[in-house]
Amino acid sequence: MTDTPDRFYVTTPIYYVNDRPHIGHVYSTTIADVVARYHRLRGDQTFMLTGVDEHAAKVVTAAEERGLDPQSWADQNAAAFQETFFSLGVSNDDFIRTSEPRHKERVTEYVTALIENGDVYAGEYEGWYDAGQEEYISENKAKESDYLSPINGKPLTKKRERNYFFRLSAYQDRLLALIEGGGFVVEPEARRNEVVARIREGLNDVAISRTGTGGWGIPIPNDPDQTIYVWIDALFNYLSAVDVDGRREYWPADLHLIGKEILWFHAVIWPALLLGLGRELPRRVYAHSFWISEGRKMSKSLGNFVDLERLDDYVARFSLDALRYFLTTQGPIGTNDADFAEAKFLEVYNADLANTLGNSFSRVTNMIGRYCDGLVPQPGGGSDSGLQEKAVATLEDYRAAMASLRLDHAAAAAVELVRQVDGYIERTQPYRLAKEEGKMAAVGAILYDCAEAIRIASLLLWPILPDRMATAWGRLGCDSYAHATASRGAGQLEEWARWGGLQPGTPVSKGDPLFPRVLAEPAPAA
Ligand code: MSP
């Protein structure tokens, strides 16, 4: 498999502006960032979008409670999300807010087009309404949950409205064919099967407008009493952000990364809206699972959300890269939930980052300093380290893992390459050889292979560890990678990761440990 530079567009959900950012938001955005950086590293023309979803009714009530107008309240909170992502080193290319004119104008156009082609029509609706989610729930689902919200447990209410409806029912067969035929990829597979089973039960038309929002939201064209339902408004962000001159080539999106609870909107409603508009469908929707905290589900009532303060604390103690590493490698990619637990964080940090990556890097650069005058030594012709073959195989595994979004496997492949370096050092003991006469060429050859394998591992880990790997590159005399990839620049992974890239004679510098060991904090006094 080779990498051909391409164009790549990845999105995160746009987060409810009413919330304070927490681990869930940080997680989805961080893994989207890892994917975006991987594509930039490959040289792809990449666009990463995140943002906030502002037109929920809750925004109006929360603003009222604070004596603010909804826009000012949304402005404050949107800024908090933006600052959070900035301080976490997220490399999004844009941040969309659904209250921005650029979005509202596009959405008005989309809905006008759907009204004109008959996909949106006026009608009346009565059903069970989950006020917390601003969502109607089917009779079956309402019954199953004892007429309580499956999300927050509060009673559902019977609600009757004159609304605009989207003809979702008309798209059932096309959607099924697209999902089952792979034209529109929904992952992981278990989640796709759930979606397919539900579509087979039959699709009803859905209300896409609301009344009584007090003017907060995007009005239905020519019927200002009706506001476009916040979910429909929000889904359009993925298109509105790039449906402008200079960005159109990014559509269709390559990947919508979302959490499992919003898959229905992304795998059914969204593609159907796009079919209605005659637009191409996104190539892929991937729904990850959820973080829980120290073994317990996170909830507002338990007050155990891993919030920003907690995340900042990890950054202060372990570094931002370490947090990114933990989220990326231990997170709920796939269908299982993942536990954010202090003990596990410490274990993973010390095992992979301090004792493997950091330690190996220090050992190799120290030995080059001591035995090779701090210069990259000459490779030994016909070296039998096996590291070259291992690096080639690692690159293949890594690419495949990245393509299937197994970010944990991608990282594990790179870390395993570093473990091979450690094993090789143990076997050959260059520090012993260096004391024997006439063995300096052999020592140099060993260290060349070690440094080269580590250089390649550092490239593969850069999307997850952008700060520390750029430091590592600097010490290996590979500043050009850091220059190329700074400020969202494109890399050349294919070329850079080729064995033999390290030039003999290049100065190698030592420095502070990349990942200093961290001890467990003493348990707080009872
Ligand atoms: N505004 C809608 C999304 C509209 S997208 C067109 C929304 N917002 S949200 O603020 O509730 O964010 C939901 C997303 O946050 C989830 O889909 C997921 O990406 C992330 N997470 C929220 N809690 C989470 C966990 N506990 N664990 C992992 N991610 C979760 O829904």
Residues whose CB falls within 8 Å of the CB of residue 451, separated by 6 or more in sequence, listed in order? 364, 365, 368, 376, 476, 502, 508
The span from the CA of 462 to the CA of 472, in Å, is 10
User: Which sign, positive or negative, has the C-alpha torsion 97, 99, 101, 107?
Assistant: positive
The finding on whether 15 has its CB within 6 A of some atom of ligand 1 is yes
For each successive 10 residues of the chain (526 residues), what is the average pLDDT? 73 97 97 98 98 97 97 98 97 98 98 98 91 86 92 91 95 98 97 98 94 92 96 98 98 98 98 98 98 92 90 97 98 97 97 98 98 96 86 98 97 98 97 96 97 98 98 97 95 97 97 93 65
The span from the CA of 513 to the CA of 450, in Å, is 17
The span from the CA of 10 to the CA of 32, in Å, is 7
The torsion angle over the Cα atoms of residues 106, 110, 113 and 114, rounded to 10 degrees, is: -160
Query: How remote is the CA of residue 134 from the centroid of ligand 1, in Å?
Result: 15
The finding on whether 259 has its CB within 6 A of some atom of ligand 1 is yes
Query: How remote is the CA of residue 261 from the centroid of ligand 1, in Å?
Result: 8
Which is the closest atom of ligand 1 to the Cα of 28?
19
Query: How remote is the CA of residue 231 from the centroid of ligand 1, in Å?
Result: 13
Q: Which residue intervals of 51-188 are DSSP H helices? A: 57-65, 70-87, 101-116, 139-144, 172-181
Please list, residue by residue across 145-162, b when 16 or more beta carbons sit within 10 angstroms of its beta carbon and e when fewer do.
beeebeeeeeebeeeebe
State the CB neighbour count (10 A cutoff) for residue 336.
Answer: 11
Query: How remote is the CA of residue 28 from the centroid of ligand 1, in Å?
Result: 8
The span from the CA of 368 to the CA of 372, in Å, is 5
Q: Which of 261, 327, 335 to mutate to test the pocket of ligand 1 (most atoms within 8 A of CB)?
A: 261
- pLDDT, residue 161, reads 80
Strand partners of residue 186: 285
Task: Say which DSSP state 130 is in.
Answer: E
The finding on whether 235 has its CB within 6 A of some atom of ligand 1 is yes
The torsion angle over the Cα atoms of residues 154, 156, 157 and 160, rounded to 10 degrees, is: 140
Query: How remote is the CA of residue 12 from the centroid of ligand 1, in Å?
Result: 9
Tokens of 252: 């269709």
Which is the closest atom of ligand 1 to the Cα of 298?
26
Q: Is the peptide bond before 21 cis (omega within 30 degrees of 0)?
A: no
The span from the CA of 315 to the CA of 305, in Å, is 17
- Using one digit for the tens of pLDDT, what is the confidence trace for 242-255? 999 999 999 999 99
The finding on whether 53 has its CB within 6 A of some atom of ligand 1 is yes
Q: Which residue has a Cα nearest atom 17 of ligand 1?
A: 259
Query: How remote is the CA of residue 460 from the centroid of ligand 1, in Å?
Result: 28
- pLDDT, residue 2, reads 46
Q: Which residue has a Cα nearest atom 10 of ligand 1?
A: 15
Q: Which of 228, 290, 304, 307 to mutate to test the pocket of ligand 1 (most atoms within 8 A of CB)?
A: 290
Decide if 205 contacts 167 (C-beta within 8 A): yes
For 434-470, the DSSP string reads TTSTT-HHHHHHHHHHHHHHHHHHHHHHTTT-HHHHH
Radius of gyration of the chain (CA): 26
The finding on whether 298 has its CB within 6 A of some atom of ligand 1 is yes
Q: Which of 10, 16, 90 to mutate to test the pocket of ligand 1 (most atoms within 8 A of CB)?
A: 16
- pLDDT, residue 212, reads 84
The finding on whether 262 has its CB within 6 A of some atom of ligand 1 is yes
Query: How remote is the CA of residue 124 from the centroid of ligand 1, in Å?
Result: 30
The finding on whether 131 has its CB within 6 A of some atom of ligand 1 is no
Query: How remote is the CA of residue 23 from the centroid of ligand 1, in Å?
Result: 10
- pLDDT, residue 303, reads 84
Query: How remote is the CA of residue 397 from the centroid of ligand 1, in Å?
Result: 30
Query: How remote is the CA of residue 145 from the centroid of ligand 1, in Å?
Result: 22
The span from the CA of 347 to the CA of 229, in Å, is 45
Nearest to 393 by CA among 444, 460, 329, 446: 460
The finding on whether 28 has its CB within 6 A of some atom of ligand 1 is yes
Q: Which residue has a Cα nearest atom 8 of ligand 1?
A: 15
Tokens of 196: 């397919």
Query: How remote is the CA of residue 151 from the centroid of ligand 1, in Å?
Result: 13
The finding on whether 286 has its CB within 6 A of some atom of ligand 1 is no
- Using one digit for the tens of pLDDT, what is the confidence trace for 65-115? 999 999 999 999 999 999 999 999 999 999 999 999 999 999 999 999 999
Which is the closest atom of ligand 1 to the Cα of 337?
27
Query: How remote is the CA of residue 100 from the centroid of ligand 1, in Å?
Result: 21
Which is the closest atom of ligand 1 to the Cα of 261?
17
Strand partners of residue 120: 166
Task: Say which DSSP state 152 is in.
Answer: T
